[in-house]
Structure 1
Amino acid sequence: MRHATKVAAVVAAAALGLAACGSSTDTAPGSGSGSTAGSTAGGGGAGLKVGMAYDVGGRGDQSFNDAAAAGLDKAKSELGVEGKEAAAVNGEAESARKERLQQLIDAGYTNVIAVGFAYAKSVGEAAKANPDVKFAIIDDASPDSAGSNVEQITFAEEQGSFLVGAAAALKTKTNRIGFVGGVQTDLIKKFEVGYEAGAKAVKPDIKIDVKYLTQPPDFSGFASVDKGKAAAEGMYQSGADIVYHAAGGSGGGVFTAAKAAGKLAIGVDSDQAKTAPADVRDVIMTSMVKKVDVGVFDFIKAVQDGSFKAGNKVFDLKAGGVDYSTTGGQVDDIKSKLDEYKQQIIDGSITVPSS
């Protein structure tokens, strides 16, 4: 593991704009992290220090990153851990992600969570260079990030997406729905494929429009409200009356387009009828809830308890890792049907495709 002096760590942290979340002024109510000094590398007990490196959009995206932040906030409140956060920026190089992880470590945050598959190579390299540090990466189970000190946290997004696809098919009045993906990657394809499978399970002849905002290595599709808005506007103008997005912060544009068109949208990751701006919440019919907060909290608690295990941990429908939301009551009339599909997926009578 690479070491640095306290002065170097502080300077480096400041240079990267890392936002401290464990101070007595920033800590969630009830947390004891502000009064506890230090921690052992990767160790458990009071004073555990956790660094979180966000994907593009960072805390405040009302979606994926915020779900991760909620898990850290819960750990601060309930477990008394101290946290420090840093966010990615559009178009940054791989070296920037790797350096962000190392600066968290050098600042003493020796339990590190990387939010998003874009960190895969950086986590793999940082884990090898820092064997005493425990890492978690969200949404990647590739060999790039694997290591004896890495937990790979993944979700069965296709299962949750099946449920909201079924909801869209049950609710559409035009027999045409849409899907907006942030970046065309294998991960986001899982959302699309599951959504299409759920919709076609209800209505085999339904029309589904699909649009991806960017292609790798351009990941700005997760933080481009204007692109999300334009994509959804095109779908509504073509006759779709419900559009599902898996586009991170760009989803705000989908909601704005739905509001202007008098149509409906489906949120992702968080229950966005609770997290989106108040003026668009009424157009969010449901959300595919991906419980990133559960995965984050589970990792932190395991480290603190001394029960950390490296490898891939999958949070599926059976494990409560994905679901659909009911906020606003717009799917209350079809809830029994959705729950039938949910149970069939859990018991294995429906196998949802993921690619």
Structure 2
Amino acid sequence: MELKLIKIKRLAPRLLCIILLMAYLSFSGMAVNAKAPVNINPTQSHDINTSFCKEDRSFSFAWLTDTQYYTSKYPDLYKLTVQYILDNRESRNTKYVIHTGDIVDNSKKEYQWINADNCLSLLDNAKMPYGVLAGNHDVNHDKKDYSEYDRYFGEKRFCSNIWYGGSYKNNKGHYDLISAGRNDFIIVYMGWGISKAEFDWMNQVLAEHKDKTAILCFHNYLNNTGRRDFVGEEIFNNVVKRNKNVIMTLNGHYHGAARKEDKIDDDGDGVYDRTVYQILSDYQEGPMGGGGYIRYITFDTKANKVSISTYSPYFNDYNFFNNNESRRDSYGYQDEFTYPLPLKSQSLFGWQHRITDLIPGWHKSK
């Protein structure tokens, strides 16, 4: 009897997948006919969320930053880098792409914006969810001139996408809602020039989505010595510590790679409730303005961990910085490391909230 129950449990996910797929076909007006050919366009596959059928236990986000020299001098390298992400979308199970600023080198040079637009349009055309923010080079540094950024990467570019959650000041800040492997994420972005008004907006958004795992993206926050800069310290105290769902921050700006871990006691009982992982990535001082290095953030829901690795499709090389044993700690190396992270694992009983993903025209609440 016990053996039969085990077999039933193993078959249940496949049976549910078949039932849900048949329901979708019926709902969308497609007759279920074994003899009728079905035309499936692979580039549109993410429009129907069937990740629960694949029993995804591992998925990734790709992270780009400080690409200003690609847009000013090496646009072909930029295209190659973005195309690699798309070509390996399935093999790496990449669900989302992050860009943490300095899209261009000189915000007054239109050709640089055109190059950036052409390269990142590859993601638009492939319907790959992604988010961007403005670095200091994108807004003429202390002048904080967002006019060109607004023109090319303002709210209008993104607002029709179902994963785009909402905008602050025409995409100076915004948040995206991404679901993968039964885990619901809110990725919050805020561009160059952050003060109390920006803190208030981020806190409001995070409070409204406190049931989602939050990743915060900035241009400057952690420096290359592994310490928060002035802005980073303000963000940490006014946003990170106040929101229990924040588990990670990502930033560029400072040349190099560094990380910092902070344990936080949310309820004041003397016991740490969460660890916030803060990561800097910026390879612009490398050959050809960064060598096409991509940081992959890979989530493993079965092992409850998140692994960060770095790869250049141009050089076919892992880890811009060599794995120096003298700098190794319990998490790993400078470019390659793994953090423990509680995640929801794939299970039959957690799939019911994804049935709506099969209904055409369904949108996430914004």
TM range (shorter): 0.3 to 0.5
TM-score (norm 2): 0.32
Q: TM-score, normalised by structure 1?
A: 0.33
